Amino acid sequence: MSNFNPSAAEFVPRFDAPTFMPGAGLPAAPPAESWEDDAVEQVAQQVAAVDIAKPEPSRPAKAAREAAPPKVPASSAQPATAPAPAPEPEEEEEEEEEVIDQSLFHDQRENVNVVFIGHVDAGKSTISGNLLVLTGQVDQRTVAKYEKEAKDKNRESWYLAYIMDTNEEERIKGKTSETGRGQFETKSKRYTILDAPGHKTFVPNMIMGTSQADIGVLVISARKGEFETGFDRGGQTREHALLAKTLGVDKLIVVVNKMDEPSVKWSEERYNEIVTKLTPFMKRCGFQLKKSLWFLPCSGMTGANLVEPVKPDVCPWWKDGYSLISLIDSMPDMTRDPTAPIRIPVSGRYKEMGCTFIMGKIEVGTLTMKSKLCLVPGGQRIELVGILTDDQEMQCCRPGENIILKCRGVEEEDVRSGQVVCPVKHQCKVSNEFVVQMQVTDLLEHKPIIAAGYQAVLHIHSVITECQISKLLFECDSQGRRKKKPPVFVKSHAIVICVITTDYPIAIETFKDRPQLGRLTLRDEGKTIAIGKVLSLTVPTGGASV
């Protein structure tokens, strides 16, 4: 007998129905490419395997359509066959996709962001400062000034670090607390240096800086005892290397610094000892020797092997022949998407001469003075009156550029780090609840498990906010297969798919659609406890704006 009911109420589609959220009926995930027993290697290979995949050629257009707010009819009771709205928006979209005159770009060379990471006192700021001196970005009068300041503080050897450490407290203590910036250029490329802090107290600032980087330089001290302190448990060498990989840094150069120290004296034996100990760990983090991982000796203080190759009479055994800059300069151009909708995570802001200035890096898309922009979350429109990079005013900027937007129509207090500048027509998605796949690292001794309700600090692009793991959906085995029964809790080194909620909506996208906005790190009490990627979102009703 038929179950058809002729008296049933007429079906009325709901255009404002909430987006489907994956639940217990999620299909099993395909097995990961490769997993090893070591927990750190599981993490790195998981993230690396996803990063390698490139979007299809049609991905930018698809992502743009998905990011646009849904069109909701005036009445939800309208039939599904209601006439389509006027086509004005489509015409506007065509205008946004017009061919940009390449002559408007101030420099055809690619901008590459290089972050210097590593344990405290490894010499990151000294190397960064000396690079700027050797490439002609700092004049000798300024160098002499810093030498005098350092001598007055009884810190004669710190004067090169003063170029990057502009904060007086940093200079007094000799410890970088904020990410320093500098620029230099070669014949083929332009470079932005990001000098990340090394002390574990300032890891959040290190994460912020590294998330903007294209290439990582892990600085290791060759001085007796200093390498061991940084690499042993409690040092920052391991955590920085792992975070760099999970934050999207695919190329890592390990520079063994302080080779000129009296305890080292450019010893080949000491250099090989350090390389031998580091190589297995770096491989477990997902880096491949000579493909995404390189080693070289140097002296940040003397400048040996930074710009010019070290002289044979100083280091006769260094046969590879490349310096730090020649190695970086030889790398192929970064893979970026200039046609995607603009995404600029906000890293800072200030007010000057009646205008609000917004700082950030263009992750994808091409920015022009004609771009119609807004801030997300919030959807507040921005009147763009200037684009600055390297203290120059520009008409157009490509992905990878670190820029400052000169704006009207928005107050300084309305702008905060973690927001995203994006097109009005193709806004970044916003959510305070999303599904993630994450690898648990080492949990705290007094918090040995993660269960529903676990609270932590979430880092995702320039967002830093408190969050809660509200539900554990699946635990995965070592092959990436999902177990049938939802877990009550998970321990260190588990792979888990879970729901994370935040107190307020944040700008976020899935890792598949926009990797730069879909990588995340969870920290608790100053320690990294999990890393992962965003799988899906719960988008608020009514579109991408809140």
Residue 523: CATH number of its domain: 2.40.30.10
Domain coverage including residue 114: 110-329
Cα angle value 520/364/510 (rounded, 5°) = 35
Q: Based on the domain organization, do 412 and 434 belong to the same domain? A: no
Q: Based on the domain organization, do 169 and 253 belong to the same domain? A: yes
Q: Based on the domain organization, do 527 and 445 belong to the same domain? A: yes
- Are residues 192 and 184 in contact, defined by beta-carbon separation less than 8 angstroms? no
Asked if residue 179 belongs to a domain, the reply is yes
Task: Give the pLDDT confidence score for residue 55 in this predicted structure.
Answer: 39
Of 369, 129, 356, 89, nearest to 257 by C-alpha is: 129
Helix or strand holding residue 11 (H, E): none
Q: Based on the domain organization, do 401 and 433 belong to the same domain? A: no
Asked if residue 353 belongs to a domain, the reply is yes
Distances (CA, A) of 306 to 322, 336, 434: 9, 27, 44
Q: Based on the domain organization, do 153 and 272 belong to the same domain? A: yes
3-state helix, strand, coil split of the chain in percent (to 5) is 25, 30, 45
Torsion of CA 87, 88, 90, 96, to 10 degrees: 170
Task: Give the pLDDT confidence score for residue 204 in this predicted structure.
Answer: 83
Q: Which of 391, 423, 455 delimits the end of a domain?
A: 423
Asked if residue 216 belongs to a domain, the reply is yes
Q: Based on the domain organization, do 389 and 435 belong to the same domain? A: no
Task: Give the pLDDT confidence score for residue 219 in this predicted structure.
Answer: 95
CA dist 63 and 68 (Å) reads 9
Q: Count CB neighbours of 275 within 10 A.
A: 17
Asked if residue 352 belongs to a domain, the reply is yes
Q: Based on the domain organization, do 218 and 356 belong to the same domain? A: no
Q: Based on the domain organization, do 307 and 419 belong to the same domain? A: no
Torsion of CA 172, 175, 177, 182, to 10 degrees: 90
- HSE-up of residue 215 (Cα within 13 Å, Cβ side): 26
Q: Based on the domain organization, do 186 and 277 belong to the same domain? A: yes
Q: Based on the domain organization, do 232 and 258 belong to the same domain? A: yes
Q: Strands 495-507, 430-440: parallel, antiparallel or unpaired by DSSP?
A: antiparallel
- HSE-up of residue 143 (Cα within 13 Å, Cβ side): 14
Helix or strand holding residue 284 (H, E): helix 268-284
CA dist 13 and 70 (Å) reads 15
Which stretches of the chain score pLDDT less than 70? 1-107, 166-178, 198, 539-546
Domain count for the chain, please give it: 3
Task: Give the pLDDT confidence score for residue 481 in this predicted structure.
Answer: 85
Task: Give the pLDDT confidence score for residue 100 in this predicted structure.
Answer: 61
Q: Which of 302, 329, 356 delimits the end of a domain?
A: 329
Q: Based on the domain organization, do 121 and 213 belong to the same domain? A: yes
Q: Based on the domain organization, do 161 and 301 belong to the same domain? A: yes
Under DSSP, the state recorded for 506 is E
- Are residues 113 and 212 in contact, defined by beta-carbon separation less than 8 angstroms? yes
